[in-house]
Chains A and B, each alone.
Chain A
Amino acid sequence: MSALPEKRHIPDRLGTSLTRLLSSWEVLLLGVAIAIFIANAFASPYFLNAWNLSDATFNFTEKAMIAFAMALLIISGEIDLSVAAIIALASTAMGAAAQAGIDTPGLVAIGITVGLLCGAFNGLLVAGLGLPSIVVTIGTMSLFRGISYIVLGDQAYGNYPESFAFFGQGYVFWVISFEFALFIVCAIAFAILLHATSFGRRIYAIGNNQFAARFSGIPVERVKFILFLLTGLMSGIAAVCLTSRLGSTRPSIAQGWELEIVTMVVLGGVSILGGSGTIGGVVIAAFVMGLVTFGLGLLNVPGIVMSIFIGLLLIVTISLPIIFKRLKSGKKA
């Protein structure tokens, strides 16, 4: 620039460079997903089959539905570790209701209501009393699942009506399961909520600087409460799907899912410190995790190895951005 113009013009955006787009986390992750897909296709002759692939989606659809809500919560700077326990409690409630002869619509309503109530309880403790969410939800994690254990002991509920099976086992079109269709609808709905509404903008503001958000007139507590409610709702919906798919309820249902869901969110590029991330990233991360577990399953890798894999994945994805940042700043210095 030579002489200063009289009235400075500031462009809306700097030109979006292709290299920046290509080096974004989401694109990187998409590459990983494709690589895993190809590797799976070579590793197992059973992989490239429409019905097998359709089956593979059940590995992640229920978790991903919760992961969408969890992503919003983590972006806002909070976390909910009680999601799997909410599934257990909601499933137990539905099982007890089914035992009492309540039909499918009633069961769905009960599952979703229990999810909402649990979410409201978490939200009240965190947003209402100002307690740290990680502690609150570790507490409610034991509390919710503990209630299931007291009700069920070593028993199981299993007498679900036949029509209830649709949510976990039904197909809407050819190989597209009801769960997969619901996953797509949720992905779109959450992407719109986070990226295209003022509510979504407020979530980012809160996650980046809670004080400045409050000083800008954002009702921080109300937003957080709604996010816990939303996470409870999605946990309730996931409980309906999972219970329907399994056809039975044990108190150990969905054990350890909170870890996989948080991993999915973080793998999707959502900062564990809050303030950044996209729903698109979480969708791709869901596919990556689903493909990996399915591929390992086809290769007869035992479940315990998969859990080691999930743990490693979580640590690596949290540390990678930090390591990269160090390397970059090291180069400059």
Chain B
Amino acid sequence: MNTAVQTPIREPAPPAPLLEMRGISKSFPGVRALDQVDIKLYPGTVTALIGENGAGKSTLVKILTGIYQPDEGEILVDGKPVTFATAQDATNHGVTAIHQETVLFDELSVAENIYLGHAPKTRFGLVDWKALNARSLALLHSLETTVDVRAKLKELSIAQRHLVAIARALSVDARIVIMDEPTAALSRKEVDDLFQIIERLKNQGKAILFISHKFDEVYEIAQNYAVFRDGRAVGHGALRDANQNEIVRLMVGRSVDKAFPKVDVALGETVLKVTNYAHLTEFRDISFELRRGEILGLYGLVGAGRSEFCQSLFGVTRPSDGSLTLEGREITIRSPRDAIAHGIVYVPEERGRHGTVAQMPIFQNISLPSLAKTSRAGFLRSAEEFALARRYAERFDLRAAALSVPVGTLSGGNQQKVVIGKWLATSPKVIILDEPTKGIDIGSKAAVHAFISELAAEGLSIIMVSSELPEILGMSDRVLVMREGLPAGLFDRQSLDAETLVRAATGNA
């Protein structure tokens, strides 16, 4: 806590902050999401909020927009304390947020989308179409665009839709604008357009909180920065005074190796060789070799194409180019069925949607990809199924009332054990883990890490996708970094450190 404020003693020449948060804390069961956080937003200034996944950025946004209530601390607007008990309160105080994906309605007009929920009314309580269209036009005009406000949204380009989303956020007379990773889904050209808009908003005297992973963008658009790590504000100041390495260090700085029980495993021969794997839109030129007992970490920002690449290895999507060699033989994978038959399995990121059939019992989930083994001539043998399920339930110390209860009734960590068990039951050679500890509480995380390590020791080859640096650094033998669908470096365990990975992933050489 003493090390909390690392950077400047000299604050930038102080106009009064438009919005200030003081000593904000917020806890959820088992997690302290925000711990005594301070942040100040000044008029006509863009403040970049920087931090890893799980640093507390989105909790902060939710408190600022009235979705969560802080446990302690206060929020001041224009120096006066306020409470945001509801989203409406936040809006009334001029706070608005532009999210990564604002929900818009294809079949409604541009103006209707902008004013949905707070359309101007006539004195009879009907929608005042004249005012609606006029105000929308004025709003879009202030963003210096010419979109027909009567056009249906579906007729618009992606970039124009984005403008509508911004106009919608500004339609509530906002003075404080929060942008939560607004560039995640945008091309470079669209990012430039967005930055022009931000510039304009800045000149109108609005205070802007800009959340992004990408350092080049932060440097381009922001004047101030605030760094969060593990729910604490660990540094803030003016960007022009700050050294980029310093910020990266603030963002990731912590000792990472102690919590991760990676056992050193002697690596065997090459099991899987991927050569120039490519997909029409998501990724290309991915090549690497994976050895027996190796854990290959796959790191990158959200949207770098990691999951898409893994899913193409598993046959969910087809690659457009490239080849695969498994144990020296070239193979083609057209479906998950092919992949499983070759011994390549995939533990998906979205457990509930792709990993388990929540309504079906544990034992049926575990046997699902192994039905050929547990049945005879197509007829089920429940004794075999229970035996198979029991083997993995006991191995992973599964917490469940019975093997016949639906998987959906288990906790996230135990569901993940079922998914991993289901794949181990197929005796795979390569197991792909996509964000294996996402949404799992800290206690179970260690258990998951322990058995990932165990699997490697038993000679399984593992590809582990993770957005959590400590996990990647602690568990991987080597790390492949992807950026915007391209390989951005392959690092050995010896040369691994957080700053190198973050620089490779964000494109800051």
Interfacial residues, chain A to chain B (CB-CB below 8 A): 7-8, 10-14, 196-202, 204-205, 208-209, 211-219, 275-276
Contact = CB atoms under 8 A, between A and B. Distances in A.
Nearest to A276: B359
A13 B400 CA distance: 11
Given A14-B401, A215-B348, A201 B355 contact: no
A76 to B, nearest CB: 13
B380 A12 contact: no
Contacts of B378: 197-199
A8 B397 contact: yes
A158 to B, nearest CB: 43
Given A197-B379, A198-B372, A198-B378, A216 B403 contact: no
B315 to A, nearest CB: 9
Given A10-B401, A217-B369, A218-B368, 16 more contacts: A8-B394, A10-B400, A12-B363, A13-B402, A13-B403, A14-B401, A196-B380, A197-B380, A198-B375, A204-B364, A205-B368, A209-B357, A215-B314, A215-B355, A216-B368, A217-B339
Given A198-B380, A201-B364, A14 B405 contact: yes
Nearest to A221: B335
A276 B405 CA distance: 15
16 contacts: A8-B397, A11-B402, A13-B403, A14-B401, A14-B404, A197-B375, A198-B375, A205-B364, A205-B368, A208-B358, A209-B353, A213-B357, A215-B336, A217-B339, A217-B340, A218-B337
Contacts of B346: 215
B274 interface: no
A215 B340 CA distance: 10
Contact of B316 (A202, A209, A215): A215
B393 interface: yes
Contacts of A218: 337, 368
Nearest to B311: A215
Nearest to A206: B357
Interface in B367-387: 368-369, 371-372, 375, 378-380, 386
Contacts of A14: 401-402, 404-405
Contacts of A219: 335, 337
Contacts of B249: none
Contacts of B369: 216-217
Interface centre among A14, A208, A212, A276 (most CB of B within 10 A): A212
Contacts of A10: 390, 393-394, 398, 400-403
Nearest to B401: A14
A8 B390 CA distance: 11
B497 to A, nearest CB: 35
A199 B393 CA distance: 25
Contacts, number: 99
Contacts of A198: 371-372, 375, 378-380
* Most A-side CB within 10 Å, residue of B335, B363, B398: B335
B357 A205 contact: yes
Residue of A205, A214, A217 ringed by the most chain B CB atoms within 10 A: A217
A282 B400 CA distance: 32
B453 interface: no
Nearest to A197: B378
Nearest to B426: A217
A215 B354 contact: yes
A212 B403 contact: no
B399 interface: yes
Nearest to B386: A12
A13 B378 CA distance: 23
Contacts of A276: 359
Nearest to B405: A14
Interface string B383-420: 00010001001100111111111000000000000000
Given A11-B402, A14-B405, A215-B316, A208 B335 contact: no
Contacts of B380: 196-198, 200-201
A276 B355 CA distance: 19
A253 B405 CA distance: 46
A132 to B, nearest CB: 19
Contacts of A199: 378
Contact of B371 (A196, A201, A209): A201
A182 B65 CA distance: 66
Nearest to A214: B336
Nearest to B347: A215
A88 B92 CA distance: 65
A275 B359 contact: yes
A208 B357 contact: yes
Nearest to A9: B394
B402 A216 contact: no
Q: Which of A199, A200, A201, A204 has the most CB of B within 10 A?
A: A201
Contacts of B399: 8
Nearest to B383: A12
Interface string B342-361: 00001010000111111110
A38 to B, nearest CB: 36
Closest 4 CB pairs of A and B: A198-B371, A217-B340, A217-B337, A13-B404
B162 interface: no
A12 B316 contact: no
A214 B403 contact: no
Interface string B317-337: 000000000000000000111
B422 interface: yes
A269 B8 CA distance: 69
Contacts of A12: 363, 386, 390, 402-404
B394 A7 contact: yes
A213 B368 CA distance: 8
Contacts of A201: 364, 368, 371, 380
Nearest to A222: B337
Contacts of A200: 380
Contacts of B371: 198, 201-202
Contacts of B375: 197-198
Interface in B287-341: 314, 316, 335-337, 339-341
A196 B364 contact: no
